Amino acid sequence: MYVTRLSTASKGFPVIWDEWLARFLLALGVVALPISVVFNHALGLSIVIMVPRIGWRRLLDDMRQIEANRWFVLWMVWALLSVAWTAAPWMDGVGDWWKIAQRLIMAMCLPSVLCHLKSQRWVLKLFCTSVVGVIAVTSAVQVFGLHWPMWSKQIAPIELSVFAAFVMAIGLRTCDGRRASMGWWCIVVSMLVFEFYINVERTGMVVMISLGLFEAWRRFGKQGVLIFSMLIPFALAGIWATSPSFAHRMHQSVDNVVGFQTKPHHALGDNSLGLRLTFAKFCLQSIIHHPVIGRGLAAYRHDFEATGGVKIANYFIPKHPENGYLHLLYELGLVGFGLMGFWFYNTFSNLGRHASAARDRMIIFLIIWLVSGLFFTPFYTNRMLTFFAMMVGLWQSERLQTIMTPSSEDRA
């Protein structure tokens, strides 16, 4: 069992209040994650409150127990060094570095806090419940045409579609036949309806299809993947025929891909696939000339603005190229890309050693993260970074408990 000891710094604290306050802030951060970025720092505050109780020495010992953390540290060091040669103002580079670094530090500290508070199970349930509630309200606003500008400003359609895919995959994992729940099946169907008929975000749709392929492989092997792949065109054709919003988005995508080089930027439409191709072309031209160390943090938006490529009607200055891989290569080069790649490799290699529900949840999350990185930049958005910290913290807390639990031979 994971056991914590009180540090000398915590002796002046009452026994209860700090833990309950940490639980409250943890719950607030998890519930608010799909809604607003305002309360994202509540997760960090819960860690700050628990540090005196856990103790710095124990916290650092727990971090060292997780091998993958070394790649986080190396990546943060390299990213900070890149500020020295960034093409952008150095304060912009430091700002971007701090935004990412604080979430990675959060991911490294959360395992100790979650183990101490014994919060792993309710954190995930609370997050899924919050996502379902937010999607229900968002669906009502869109379907009934309600005028609620404050709500619309807070909700990010792409990120909400990613969260919906996550909840759908958790639901499919829970409904494994023996423990099939009508409530979970309703949630799975609701997530699909929301994504393909109401929200209609291409990123979320691709992520959902990828998770469906994974679930087919997990349950039925290669034959299941083959059958699922054959059913996808028929399912999309049915959605095309019954969802005008879906048909419009697909027509727009094809039109933008065909004409992204010949049409003016303002004719491509906001947040379109055509603009993504424009951004990708711009990134590749720079990556070829600066492949190893990149252009430095925050350089992309500075360089793209300098080209005059931001004069697009109804489109804000693009801070990101809408592709996480190209963004990482553009700013941190092969070195930064490789360090983060080693973290993913280390995590995937450890997943094979632990057969558990926590492992399946982490696989689902990694699939979501890797696929969504093709369509936007999750590593540079506050809400997705906090989601990353939460999921990595949950997985590492399970591993930390396994490491700290003495085996039967040790107990003997």
Residue pLDDT, tens place only, 366-397: 999 999 999 888 888 888 989 999 999 988 88
Alpha-carbon radius of gyration of the chain: 22
- Split at pLDDT 50, 70, 90, the class of 131 is very high
Q: pLDDT tens-digit profile of 209-227?
A: 999 999 899 888 889 999 9
How many domains are contained in the chain? 1
- Split at pLDDT 50, 70, 90, the class of 135 is very high
Within-domain flag for 109: no
Write the DSSP assignment of 383-402 as a string of letters.
Answer: HHHHHHHHHHHHHHHHHHHH
Cβ-proximal residues to 386 (8 Å cutoff; 6+ apart), any chain: 29, 33, 37, 40, 43, 103, 106
Q: What percent of the chain clears pLDDT 70, i.e. is strictly above it?
A: 83
Q: Mean pLDDT in the chain?
A: 82
Name which of 149-163, 290-304, 374-388 the model is least confident about.
Answer: 149-163
The pLDDT of residue 256: 67
The pLDDT of residue 405: 55
Within-domain flag for 370: yes
Give the other-Cβ count within 10 Å of 183's Cβ.
10
Within-domain flag for 391: no
Write the DSSP assignment of 299-315 as a string of letters.
Answer: HHHHHHHHTTTT--TT-
Within-domain flag for 46: no
By residue range, what is the domain housing residue 139? 69-100+119-380
Closest CA to 111 of 78, 68, 80: 68
Within-domain flag for 218: yes
Structure tokens at 272: 């379109």
pTM (predicted TM-score): 0.86
3-state secondary structure of 105: helix
Within-domain flag for 169: yes
Within-domain flag for 64: no
- Split at pLDDT 50, 70, 90, the class of 74 is very high
Average pLDDT over residues 244-268: 67
The pLDDT of residue 228: 92
Helix (H) or strand (E) holding 18: helix 17-32
Q: How many residues in the chain?
A: 412
Name which of 250-259, 263-272, 396-405 the model is least confident about.
Answer: 263-272
Within-domain flag for 289: yes
